[in-house]
Amino acid sequence: MKKETKIIVGVLAGAALGATIALALSSDSTSDLKNKVSDFFADLLDASKDKLAGLADKATDVADKVKDKVAEINA
């Protein structure tokens, strides 16, 4: 994995762990806690999908630019 990917994964994992611990230590009932945790992870999954899609688009753009430059050099 690239350095940036490792950082993103680490931040997301840390956020998930921190939120889970904070919810576990709160005084809410068990069912409320389960709902909050499941909602949090659903939101986290949606956000990570959006971020990864954005990274994929950027990578495609960079690859296209590199191909164009190589084509210019070889021409």
pLDDT value at position 27?
63
> What pLDDT does residue 6 have?
81
Q: Is the pTM of this model over 0.85?
A: no
Distance separating the N- and C-terminal Cα atoms of the chain: 34
Please state the domain extents for the chain: 3-74
- Are 64 and 56 in contact, with CB atoms under 8 Å apart? no
Q: How high is the mean pLDDT in each 10-residue block of the chain (75 residues)?
A: 79 83 70 78 81 80 87 81
pLDDT at 29: 66
Residue 40 is predicted with a pLDDT of 82
Tokens of 1: 């994995």
pLDDT at 71: 84
For residue 7, give Cα distances in angstroms to 1, 3, 28: 10, 6, 32
